[in-house]
Amino acid sequence: MVAQKSDWLCINCGIRLGGVFGGEFYPDVPADKLRTSGPNLVVTCPECGQIKTWFTADPVVRAVYQLVNAISEVAARSMVEQVGRAVNEQSRASNSQKFT
């Protein structure tokens, strides 16, 4: 059985933004009206400017993005801690030179 294609419409003006076929979104808008937000696709209506988001239903894609976000948060925290330690060490070294 072939999945039927359905229209995906702007929630404000009703223009067709694309179609959904087999759980996948196929946009009909120009490329400059599309952007990504993580695994999701953000569509700006070319007629009225309303923004609508296509949320991915693929659990593997969501899991990969969650993993990448978790790793980047840990890496960012680590870098901030390292910079903080380096600044403190430099400040201590500078202060000890002033008193010698």
Same domain, 30 and 75: no
State the Cα angle at 79 between 81 and 64, rounded to 5°. 125
Same domain, 52 and 62: no
Same domain, 50 and 71: no
What's the mean pLDDT in 34-44? Answer: 90
**Cβ contacts of residue 22 below 8 Å, gap of 6+?**
3
Residue numbers of the domain that contains 71: 58-100
**Cβ contacts of residue 5 below 8 Å, gap of 6+?**
19, 20, 21, 26
The per-residue pLDDT for range 21-31, each reduced to its tens digit, is: 877 889 999 99
Entry pTM: 0.56
Same domain, 67 and 42: no
Say how far apart CA 34 and CA 5 lie, in whole Å. 20
Query: Based on the structure, what is the number of domains in the chain?
Result: 2
Same domain, 72 and 100: yes
**Cβ contacts of residue 57 below 8 Å, gap of 6+?**
23
